[in-house]
Structure 1
Amino acid sequence: MLNVYLSGEIHTDWREQITEGAQGLDIVFSGPVTDHAASDDCGVAILGAEADKFWHDHKGAQINAIRTRKGIADADVVVVRFGDKYKQWNAAFDAGYAAALGKSLIILHGADHAHALKEVDAAALAVASDPAQVVDILRYVLTAKLP
């Protein structure tokens, strides 16, 4: 069985494309909380309100980091998607964290991000431009079969 952590942007259906495409393969998928409001507000919802937005965000980031660190640590493969919306500094951090742990890293982004992500791409074992390519990589890793 392969444990795959899906990190990165939350505004498109790339996760669903990968999980649906990988049906029938012996893979367990995990990832961050993709409900943006829940992710942003988990700290204050659990630990109490903050008047300062910095501390509001800080509490949420720390609680989300518990899930992220566990997911990446347990993963055999980490897929990090960089999308067109927002800067996604958290995705870059996740990629660096996974690389530092020696995880097999697949980066997923369009051609428009190639220059900005050249160092992240250099740390990856594969750089894909489409979720279907990620599925093909995972299938090959598990079965040695080409698309």
Structure 2
Amino acid sequence: MLKVYLSGEIHTDWRDRIVAGAEGLDVRFDGPVTDHAASDDCGAAILGAEESRFWHDRKGAGLNAIRTRRGIEGADVVVVRFGDKYKQWNAAFDAGQAAALGKSLIVLHGPEHQHALKEVDAAALAVAETPEQVVQMLRYVLTGALPETRADA
């Protein structure tokens, strides 16, 4: 079984598209909590409210880091998605952590981020523009099968 950690932006359906496309493959997916409010407020909800936003965020970041570290360390492949709407510092951090741990890293972003993410892309084994390309990569890794219609055909 291939263990894949899906990191990065939480505002689009890219994770759902990868999971649906990989149906039938021997893959187990994991990822961060994608409920933005739950992710932001988990520390204060579990450990108690904070008057300072800094400490509120610090508690949440710590709890989320436990989940993220476990997921990245246990993964065979880490997919990090950079979206167009926000600067995803956490996604860049996750990509760096995956690279430092020697994980197979796939970076997913549109062409508008090629320059800004050139160092992150250089650390990746593959860079995709669509979730469907990620699915094709996973299928190839697991089965050796190429897509029916190849880009160079």
Q: Given the two structures, how large is their TM-score scaled by the length of structure 2?
A: 0.96
1:118 aligned partner: 118
Q: Secondary structure at the match of 2:24?
A: coil
CA distance in 1, matches of 2:44, 2:100: 30
Deviation at 1:35, TM superposition (A): 0.2
Deviation at 1:88, TM superposition (A): 0.4
In the alignment, does 2:33 pair up with 1:29? Answer: no
2:135 aligned partner: 135
| Paired letter, 1:146 | L
2:150 aligned partner: none
- Give the percent of matched residue pairs that are identical in Structure 1 and Structure 2: 79
Q: Which aligned pairs between 1:1-147 and structure 2 lie closer than 5 A?
A: 1-147=1-147
Deviation at 1:86, TM superposition (A): 1.0
Gaps of 5+ in 2: 148-153
CA distance in 2, matches of 1:82, 1:76: 20
Query: What is the CA deviation profile of residues 51-110 of structure 1, one whole-angstrom value per residue up to 9, with x for unaligned ones?
Result: 000010000000000000000000000000000111000000000000000000000000
Residues matched between the structures, number: 147
Gaps of 5+ in 1: none
Q: Secondary structure at the match of 1:63?
A: helix
Runs of 4+ aligned residues of structure 1 deviating over 3 Å after TM superposition are: none
Q: Given the two structures, how large is their TM-score scaled by the length of structure 1?
A: 1.00
Q: Secondary structure at the match of 2:3?
A: strand
| Paired letter, 1:34 | T
CA distance in 2, matches of 1:48, 1:145: 51
CA distance in 2, matches of 1:27, 1:86: 29
CA distance in 1, matches of 2:86, 2:12: 12
Deviation at 1:136, TM superposition (A): 0.2
Q: Secondary structure at the match of 1:3?
A: strand
CA distance in 1, matches of 2:79, 2:56: 28
CA distance in 2, matches of 1:27, 1:109: 22
CA distance in 2, matches of 1:87, 1:81: 11
| Paired letter, 1:10 | I
Deviation at 1:21, TM superposition (A): 0.2
